[in-house]
């Protein structure tokens, strides 16, 4: 907890890069996606994946997927201590092998400030790499009074158009993230939203703009490509 609190103090929940100030995100050329997945029945081995795409074309520029040993046990609320070290190694390999392809922002399959102590995987990875990071989750993490109750489901049903959003405001009054409706592939009445939260070096409004700009389908392309690469 002390280490988590120490690192949490370094999180910058604001825009820090010139390209973030442009409504069209002019100057953003490379976006990355990271993920860690485990083979069925084996929690000691995982596939650590990093993909870098061009922006706004969203064409794959770089792929790195390799099996790694994960020795730190899972503890609720401290998942980052288990997963982030191998993701940092993936970023460092990229920086050494293809420094010109370093992403300007990373989309993380997980949460950022939307976390029991305000320091999810996206925050942890951002602080350790120094890169802007955004948490993109498919399910709501129940923190600060946030629950997937009937009111929450009604708010989701109120999202009608691609890109519609509503804020996730906890019992404390703090806005912890944003619920966003991505690209609808099937029925226009279907609503399977994304839960977007700040990781590091980006404000929530910009984080939502970036995620929207990266969506060709429900899942933003950097994370979708990570999964596709992993399955090959």
Give the DSSP per-residue string, 109-146.
ES-SS-STTS--HHHHHHHHH---EEEEESS----TT-
- For residue 178, pLDDT beyond 90: yes
Task: Give the three-state DSSP class for 154.
Answer: helix
pLDDT, tens digit, 9 for 90 and up, residues 3-52: 888 999 999 999 999 999 998 999 999 999 999 887 777 777 888 899 99
From residue 232, alpha-carbon distances to 19, 86, 87, 227, 229 in Å are: 33, 20, 19, 9, 5
Q: Across residues 179-192, what is the average pLDDT?
A: 62
- Check: CB of residue 120 under 8 Å from CB of residue 114: yes
Binning the chain into helix, strand and coil, the percentages to the nearest 5 are 30, 25, 45
- Check: CB of residue 153 under 8 Å from CB of residue 228: no
- Check: CB of residue 60 under 8 Å from CB of residue 225: yes
Q: Which residue is listed with tokens 């950097």?
A: 222
Q: How far is CA 80 from the centre of its chain?
A: 13
- Check: CB of residue 110 under 8 Å from CB of residue 223: no
Q: What is the pTM of this model?
A: 0.91
Task: Give the single-character DSSP code of 107.
Answer: E
Q: Which residue is listed with tokens 């404000």?
A: 203
pLDDT of residue 186: 44
Q: Which residue is listed with tokens 């951002």?
A: 126
Question: Residue 165 pairs with which residues in a beta bridge?
Answer: 180
Q: How confident is the model at residue 228 (pLDDT cuts 50, 70, 90)?
A: confident
Q: Across residues 185-202, what is the average pLDDT?
A: 77
The span from the CA of 16 to the CA of 30, in Å, is 16
Q: Which residue is listed with tokens 């420094």?
A: 99
């Amino acid at each position: 907890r002390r280490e988590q609190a120490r690192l949490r103090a370094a999180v910058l929940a604001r825009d820090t890069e010139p390209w973030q100030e442009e409504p069209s995100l002019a100057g953003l050329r490379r976006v990355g996606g990271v993920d860690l997945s485990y083979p069925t029945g084996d929690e000691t081995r995982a596939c650590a994946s990093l993909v870098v795409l061009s922006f706004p074309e969203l064409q794959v520029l770089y792929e790195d997927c390799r099996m790694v040993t994960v020795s730190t046990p899972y503890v609720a609320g401290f998942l980052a201590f288990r997963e982030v070290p191998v993701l940092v190694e993936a970023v460092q390999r990229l920086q050494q092998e293809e420094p010109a392809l370093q992403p300007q922002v990373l989309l993380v399959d997980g949460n950022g400030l939307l976390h029991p102590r305000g320091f999810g995987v996206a925050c942890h990875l951002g602080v350790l790499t120094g890169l802007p990071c955004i948490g993109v989750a498919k399910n709501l993490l129940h923190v600060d009074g946030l629950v997937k109750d009937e009111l929450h489901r009604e708010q989701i049903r109120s999202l009608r158009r691609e890109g519609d959003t509503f804020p996730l405001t906890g019992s404390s009054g703090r806005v912890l993230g944003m619920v966003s409706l991505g690209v609808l592939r099937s029925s226009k009445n279907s609503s399977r939203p994304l839960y977007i939260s700040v990781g590091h070096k980006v404000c929530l409004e910009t984080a939502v703009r970036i995620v929207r700009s990266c969506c060709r389908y429900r899942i933003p392309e950097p994370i979708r490509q990570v999964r596709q690469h992993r399955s090959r």
